Amino acid sequence: MEPRVIEGDGVRLRPYRDTDVADLVAACNDPLIRRFLGGLPSPYTEADARRWITESAPAAAAGGGTAYAVTDPDSDRLLGAVGVDRLVPMRRQGEIGYWVAPWARGRGVATAATRALTGHAFATGLVRLELLTEEENAASQRVALAAGYRHEGVRRAAAAQRGGGRSDLIAWVRLADDPPGPTPRLLPDLPPGGLTDGVVALRPTGPDDVDLMYRLHTRPEVVANRVPPEPPPRWEVDRRCRVAASNWLVGTVADLVVVDVASGEAGGGLALRYDEPRTGQAMLGASMLPEWRGRGLLTRGVRLLVDWAFGTVGVARLWAGCRPENVAPQRVLEKAGFRREGIQRGRLPGPDGTRVDSVIYALLPGDLS
């Protein structure tokens, strides 16, 4: 692609200039940028910036891709970078990437730049663009969705990590004939401040919730419903908390923490897993620490999640299941309006190759009227 000036919504994409050196050095030494761009020189020096401007960026254009400085249309100051590379000419496909300088974040710069360059790439012959994000980079995934890219899958161990090791990348794709505008989300964000009835509050699960989630998910009654019925290793719970925001954005599961408003302490977990989007069905999961039980807090949390699922998400049917002998969660479900539908015989794998039954509860919007 021939470098040229591209005007976007509040941004200008132009070739790099010598005046960008200082901002390039400052941005490329930013911890957040370095965290997700493991290939940057460490530290990033003025010589690295000049080499990028005079050699690497022009080479991208010579190879059929492009590398643009994202700038402020008024001041011309560098705000970030965006480019297309890894061209596959026979497929008319490329990969788009970006970063935003710390002084420009929170202004929609990445979304505006991605939209602008995506439009330019399609107008000049490409028909498919890929956008790859780290699983923990929820901010970048929000950009992908806002720019109309759709979740396509996971590329296992596709990224080399600084200091060794590899990590998965999430693949987002936009086609030239995709509908305009942002990609609709199956699971929208919670309202500011989360969900609350004044007694309990629900907020998204995050990296700081590992201790709580490990205690919850290693409880015997919770383990009994796992597949297989074994307690998870701590690293698995840690990873679930770190990628909870990503799973929410992708639309697979909304993981939440139940908080006692009076004390501010967290003692329970809820999950809404959209297991059948085509039929409008989602599964509800719930767990609570023993010392929190008997106070009605989990029931309140389930009711809050039910209202959000039916009223905001647009779910048409909720279901939940547990082992028949696990009476406590069945009482919670019944208090929240769920109706027992029956038993699925031998549904879950049990210990030593056995199979165990699961009692199924379901809730429809009309059940609450």
| pLDDT per position as a tens digit, 97-146 | 999 999 999 999 999 999 999 999 999 999 999 999 999 999 999 999 99
Q: What local confidence, expressed as pLDDT, does residue 320 receive?
A: 96
CA angle 272, 201, 322 (to 5 degrees): 35
**Domain annotation covers residue 159:** yes
The length of the chain in residues reads 369
In this structure, the answer to whether residues 167 and 211 fall within a common structural domain is no
Q: Are residues 240 and 324 in the same domain?
A: yes
Q: Can you say whether the dihedral through the CA atoms of 182, 201, 297, 226 is positive or negative?
A: positive
Whether residue 141 is contained in a domain is answered as: yes
**Six-digit token string for 60:** 């991208």
3-state secondary structure of 266: strand
The pLDDT mean for the chain works out to 93
Q: Is the pLDDT of residue 19 over 80?
A: yes
Could you tell me the pTM of the whole model?
0.91
Q: Is 101 inside any structural domain? A: yes
**188 assigned to some structural domain:** no
Does one domain contain both 104 and 243? no
> Domain check: are 168 and 38 in the same one?
yes
Residue 261 within any structural domain of the chain: yes
Instruction: Answer with the one of 147, 175, 203 that is the final residue of a domain.
Output: 175
| pLDDT reported for residue 1 | 47
Residues 297-329 pLDDT 10s: 999 999 999 999 999 999 999 999 988 988 888
Assign 277 a pLDDT band (cuts: 50, 70, 90). very high
Based on the fold, state whether residues 208 and 291 are members of the same structural domain.
Answer: yes
Q: What are φ and ψ of residue 264, in 5° steps?
A: 80, 5
114 and 225 part of one domain: no
Answer whether residue 184 is part of any domain: no
Q: Does 199 share its domain with 170?
A: no
161 with 199, same domain: the answer is: no
Asked if residue 309 lies in contact with residue 315, where contact means CB atoms within 8 angstroms, the answer is: yes
Domain of 315, CATH number, reads 3.40.630.30
Q: Do 142 and 88 meet the contact criterion of CB atoms below 8 Å apart? A: no
Q: Are the C-beta atoms of residues 267 and 288 closer than 8 Å to each other?
A: yes
| Domain encompassing residue 11 | 6-175
Token pair in block for residue 223: 């383990």
CA 196 – CA 261 distance, rounded (Å): 8
Within 8 A by CB and 6+ apart from 94, the residues are 65, 84, 85, 86, 87, 88, 121, 126, 128, 129, 130
- Residue 90 burial (C-beta neighbours within 10 Å; 0-12, 13-18, 19+): exposed
Quick one: 244 and 291 in the same domain?
Answer: yes
**Together in a domain, 225 and 151:** no
Give the pLDDT confidence score for residue 182 in this predicted structure. 97
Note whether 24 and 49 are within 8 A (CB): yes
Alpha helices in the chain (DSSP H): 21-28, 31-36, 46-51, 57-62, 109-123, 138-146, 210-217, 220-223, 234-242, 244-250, 297-308, 327-335
Task: Tell me: do 309 and 272 sit in the same domain.
Answer: yes
Q: What is the mean pLDDT of residues 62-83?
A: 94
Token representation of residue 214? 């490990």
Number of domains within the chain:
2
In terms of Cβ atoms closer than 10 Å to its own Cβ (0-12, 13-18, 19+), residue 141 is buried
Mean pLDDT of 158-181: 90
Q: Read off the pLDDT of each residue in 218-246 and give the average, rounded to a whole number.
A: 89
355 and 219 housed in the same domain: yes
* Mean local confidence (pLDDT), 87-93: 93
Q: Give the separation between CA 136 and CA 141, rounded to whole angstroms.
A: 9
Question: How far is 216 from 291, CA to CA, in rounded Å?
Answer: 12
| CB contact set of 235 (below 8 Å; sequence gap of 6+) | none
* Residue at 83 is within a domain: yes
Mean pLDDT in residue range 2-31: 93
The pair of structure tokens assigned to 365 is 């919007």
Per-residue pLDDT, averaged over 61-76, amounts to: 93
**Cross-sheet strand order for the sheet of 355-363:** 195-196, 200-204, 253-260, 266-276, 281-288, 317-322, 355-363, 339-349
Give the tens place of pLDDT for each residue, 24-55: 999 999 999 998 988 889 899 999 999 999 99
* Position 356 in a domain: yes
Q: Which of 175, 209, 243 is the last residue of a domain?
A: 175
| Residue 35 three-state SS | helix
Strands 317-322 and 281-288 come out as parallel
In the chain, the percentage of residues whose pLDDT exceeds 90 is 82
Q: Which two tokens stand for residue 210?
A: 């590992």
What is the Rg, in whole angstroms, of the alpha carbon atoms belonging to the chain?
24
Model pLDDT, residue 162? 74
